Amino acid sequence: MKKVAVILSGCGVYDGSEIYESVLTLLAIEQGGASYQCMAPNIDQMHVIDHRSGDVMADQQRNVLTEAARLARGKIIDLAEAHPADYDALIIPGGFGAAKNLSNFAVAGAAAVVNPDLINFARAIQEAGKPVGLICIAPAMTPLLFGKGAICTVGNDKEIAAAIEKMGGEHQACDCSNIIVDEARKIVTTPAYMLAGSISEAASGINKLVDKVLQLS
């Protein structure tokens, strides 16, 4: 059975992993006949957001791994302790945690840096010829993870697309029901909630992404 590493960035669209995208990804992996292992970096979140009001909760601080464990029903490991050789593929769901905790793209844009444990894991996966899927805003990290010329999509957001191009990536427009595939690098991306207006719309692209990742693995 193929095993997919799923890297989470917390729990909640505004300061962690997008919950629907994460659950849809895990469901699609199982329905595709594979298994998964959730993992996350053991670091503090950039900040905590009140998901009712959208306000920053300045008096709170949460841990990315601890929060991501909510999504994984406790079955999660520290990204720093994960071994790329144990997995056939990698998928990173979206949510602002990808741009706030896995990287600082949300505040730094094209000058962003990525968590070093994520860099090491993702590059080891790719260098072994294994596929990587990135969802929603997570593809903004593509050129930082996989180098100049890497092809990806976040949908049709011109500002984010311009930042990806500035970082050396190649952005291609895409709707939420489709995927963009960098065949040479085995990178699969889909916009999901960058464009989706409902969970079913997000699922349409995520299911295709997971199917393609499993096909390439």
The pLDDT tens digits for 162-176 are 999 999 999 999 999
pTM of the predicted model, to two decimals? 0.97
Find residue 78's DSSP bridge partners: 40
Mean pLDDT of the 74-98 span? 98
Using the predicted structure, report yes or no on whether residue 134 has a pLDDT greater than 90.
Answer: yes
Tell me which of 4-13, 36-45, 53-62, 206-215 is least confident. Answer: 53-62
Q: What average pLDDT does the structure give for the chain?
A: 97
Mean pLDDT of the 19-33 span? 98
* Strand pairing category for 3-7 and 35-40: parallel
Distance separating alpha carbons of residues 50 and 36, to the nearest angstrom: 30
CB atoms < 10 A from the CB of 78, how many? 13
Mean pLDDT of the 65-84 span? 97
Residues with a catalytic annotation lie at 136
- So what's the pLDDT on residue 187? 98
Rg of the chain's alpha carbons, rounded to an integer? 15
Q: At CA 8, angle to CA 44 and CA 61, rounded to 5?
A: 20
Q: For residue 179, give the amino acid letter.
A: I
Residue 27 near residue 59, CB atoms below 8 Å: no
Using the predicted structure, report yes or no on whether residue 201 has a pLDDT greater than 90.
Answer: yes
Distance separating alpha carbons of residues 140 and 36, to the nearest angstrom: 23
Structure tokens at 88: 């056939």
